[in-house]
Structures are given as C-alpha cells and as structure tokens.
Amino acid sequence: MSYKFDTVKVRGGYNSRQHNYSVGIPVYATAAFDFDGFDHFNSLRAGERLGFLYSRVGNPTVAALEARVAQLDGGSAAVAFASGMAAVSNTLLAVSGGNGRILSTKQIYGGTFDLENDVFPSIGVNFDFIDHDSSIEEWQATIKEDTKAIFVESISNPSARLLDIEALAEIAHKHQIPLIVDNTFATPYLFRPLEHGADIVIYSATKALNGHGNAIGGVVVEGKPFDWTEEKYPQLFKKYWVARDLDNNPRSFIEAFPQLPFAAFLRTKYLAYFGAALSPYDAQLILIGIETLSERVSKQVRNARKIVEYLDSRSDAVSWISYPEHKDSPYKALADKYFPDGAGTVFTFGFKGNDEQINKLIDSIRLFGFQANVGDARSLLINSPKTTHGELNPEELEAAKIRPETIRLSIGLEDADDLIADLEQAFAQALEI
C-alpha cells in the first residue's frame, strides 16, 4: 500500500511486529548480530535474506531511517552515514571509481567545495566548477569525455540559489551520467529531486531532517536504477568475491542488486570500508525528528516569509535579500515551479555595516543563536564568509559570490514577532540608530 508523505514520515520503514511490538523505534545498541547457524550467515552474506551481520554495515535502527527517507523521496534504497560530509564524500568517490571528473559549482557548502577543490584532486578525481547561474548550454558544454556525474545543491548554501533540476537531469542523461542532488536545505517535504529526474539524492540529516540540532548524520538515496554503462562505471560491473552468490560465484553489483546497484555498492565497498557508520542512537533521534518534518518546515517557511517581509522594510540596514521567493530574486520563477510549499527556511541578506558593525550585530543578537548549523527548531544567524564558508580564501569567496556583508539566517519555530524584535534591536545596536 502506498501511503502519503505525512503517513510515511511517522510510519515508514518500521513495522512494530518485527520488533517485539515496540511502538517507539528501539535503539539496537549492538556491534554484531548472532548468526543462527552457517546457512543463516551464508544467506545474509549473499543478500538472499534480509538481516544484519555487523553494525558498521547495517543496523535495524539505522535501517528504519534508511527505509523511511527512501520512501519519503520515492527512492529504491538509501544508505545512512555518520554525517552529511561522509554521505557526500563516499557518494562522489563511489561514482567516480577513483578517477575521472565531476561537474559541480562553487556556489555550494564551503566544506563540500574544499573537499572537491582540494581533497579529491589529491586522490585523482578532478572537479570542473561552473558558475551556478550558467545557461544550460554552458553546463552541457562543460561535460567532458571522462565526466562521471553532475553534483549540485537543490537550494544552495548559503544564499538559497536554485537550479533548473529537470533541465540539468536532461543534459546529464544525454551524456549518460547521473545527476546527484544535495537536497539538505529543501528536505523531501519541500522538494523531491527524484521526481524531477535526479538519480541520487544526498542529505545532511543533521539539518532539517533531524530538526533539533541533537545528532549528526547523512543519508544517500538511490532513485530508480540509473542506466550505468560498463565503459564509464566499470566498478559496478566488475565481479567481486564479496558479492558472491550462495554457490560462491563472484557477481557484479549490477548483477546481484539490479534494483539498487549503487546503494549496494556504496554500502558494501564504501560505508563498510571507510567505516563512517551512523550510530543507532543518532538514527533514532533523526527518526523522531522526521516524525514532525512537515509541521516544522511548514511553520518555519511561514516564519521565514514574515522575516523576509520585515527585512524588506529595513532598507536602512539591509542592502539585499537572497531568498528565492523574494520579488527581486532571479530564482523566483524556479521557486514557483519547483517549490510550491516554500523555497526553504535558510537565506542570506546583506548587512549595511562595516566589518566592525557586522561583528557588533552578531554580538547583539539575543534570541537567534550564533552557530554553524541550519534547519534547527531554534533560529540561528551567522556571517557565512568567516564561518560556514571560512575554508574559502578571498578569491574563492568572490567566485562563490559570497560577499563580505553576507548574513545567513536559518529560521526556526519561535514566534516570528520575537525574531523580528531581536533583529530590530540588534540592527539598532550595531548601526547605532
């Protein structure tokens, strides 16, 4: 039976009958699982029977999270990781197979950019960075012979820039490469990239999926199987002993797991060996968070809209606002098309103050937190160029279009009037007006 989003978010991926009728999803605090004899072990190992061997590779609490997120996104399978960065880095490594190139943009999370720009080239995988606002023809022209994937954020960090995901998916598929979308800021409540042609979706579950700032985690969702080619992705076609069948015949991941080859490969070769496994304790916290995803995000969107309206009225303190629904936003048409329920709860504005006054603004806030997280139930504010994007040098910040006066807001569940009052008093103190 296929249930609607709000039913899946509280029920998906878990059947109490399989867990001693426990209503709350239990934390399976165990490293390993007993095998009920050799045949049991062998059928688990060969993937012939569902079950668990060792918590670095799979755990029932973590599996409930994986199944729930996969269902929310309309995917065929998901793999959880210990952080959003582990989800991003392992996915990009697995798709590259350790060589070739990936097409991305500089207007993304600073940690991801530094990973792509500095770390990946040191291990033989290169990135081509295109300006986020390039035309689709320019994106297409940047795809090279050995490009293995396009990687983008559906709502970019920090400035909430949008992309035409359907057009990007079309050119990716024309070149027989997958489109990978980091959907952290949107969450599957506001946007489901697989429904618009993307092939793989990544989350930092630390953010709005969890929503309470009390766990670090990441999830990768595979959509309906992409049409992988052996020439470009030999890693999925190679026969591995580790994927052998019950009769010990080595198999490829395409052969052994035709409905979810990428997720199975990612789990077996990357999650298992690089070892960034999500703790079941954190998985439980994220699962509890997801139960209120729609209620939280819809109110946070309403609050964000009120705050944008307030900022709009403060031309004495605010030089620009980068929120996709804003009347001046170049992304307004994309917001209308792809984000009917709201274009997120995180956005930036330009503060009309010098460096010292920006510091004063940050020091003056009382209700907003000053912290490097987003999607939390509590609102927070940060000056991105020095913090969340502090990995970028001044030239890189300019290329990423993150101006020095940028303030990023993540809007929470408080009363919007109190948030506005906090901004008001902080503006007054910082600008002495």
Ligand X SMILES: Cc1ncc(COP(=O)(O)O)c(C=O)c1O
Tell me if 184 contacts ligand X by CB under 6 A.
yes
Q: Is 216 in the site for ligand X (CB under 6 A)?
A: yes
Q: Under rule CB under 6 A, which residues in 93-112 are in contact with ligand X?
A: 109, 111-112
User: Which two structure tokens, joined as six digits, stand for 47?
Assistant: 């993937």
Contacts of 164 (CB under 8 A, 6+ apart): 136, 334
Q: Which is nearer to ligand X, 256 or 335 (CB)?
A: 335
Assess 206 for contact with ligand X (CB under 6 A): yes
Smaller CB distance to ligand X: residue 182 or 222?
182
Question: Taking CB under 6 A as the rule, does residue 12 contact ligand X?
Answer: no
In the complex with ligand X, the residue whose CB is nearer, 115 or 430, is 115
| Residue 204 contacts ligand X per CB under 6 A | yes
The closest residue (CB) to ligand X is: 84
Among 67, 85, 283, 380, binds ligand X (CB under 6 A): 85
Q: Which is nearer to ligand X, 207 or 352 (CB)?
A: 207
Q: Does 89 bind ligand X (CB under 6 A)?
A: no
Distance CA 50, CA 66 (A): 14
State in angstroms the smallest separation of the CB of 205 from ligand X. Answer: 7
Q: State yes or no: residue 182 binds ligand X (CB under 6 A).
A: yes
Interacting residue with ligand X among 66, 73, 116, 153 (CB under 6 A): 153
Nearest residue to 73 (alpha-carbon basis) of 207, 258, 198: 198
Q: How far is the CB of 199 from ligand X (least distance, A)?
A: 18
Residue 88 or 287 having the CB closest to ligand X: 88
- 410 counts as binding ligand X under rule CB under 6 A: no
Cis (ω within 30 of 0) for the bond into 258?
no
CB of residue 374 vs ligand X: minimum separation in angstroms? 6
Strand partners, 410: 346, 380
Q: For residue 37, what are the contacts with CB-CB under 8 A and spacing of at least 6? A: none
Which residue, 13 or 84, has its beta carbon nearer to ligand X? 84
Residue 383 lies near ligand X (rule: CB under 6 A):
no
Q: Check residue 88 for interaction with ligand X (CB under 6 A).
A: yes
By CB under 6 A, the count of residues binding ligand X is 16
Q: At which residue do the structure tokens 């009309």 appear? A: 352
Closer CB to ligand X, 134 or 373, in the complex? 373
Q: Does 218 bind ligand X (CB under 6 A)?
A: yes
Q: Which stretch binds ligand X (CB under 6 A): 69-77, 179-187, 337-345, 354-362?
A: 179-187
Contact status: 282 vs ligand X (CB under 6 A) = no
* Residue 4 CB partners (closer than 8 Å, separation 6+): none
Q: Measured between alpha carbons, how far is 245 from 260 in angstroms, rounded to an integer?
A: 16
Q: Tell me how far, at minimum, the Cβ of 83 lies from ligand X, in Å.
A: 3
The binding track of 351-370 with respect to ligand X, each residue x by CB under 6 A or -, is --------------------
Which position has the token pair 């009958």?
17
The answer to whether residue 83 forms part of the interface with ligand X (CB under 6 A) is yes
Closer CB to ligand X, residue 280 or residue 375?
Answer: 375
Q: Residue 251 Cβ, how far from ligand X at the closest point, in Å?
A: 33
Where do contacts with ligand X occur on this chain (CB under 6 A)? 83-85, 88, 109, 111-112, 153, 157, 182, 184-185, 204, 206, 216, 218
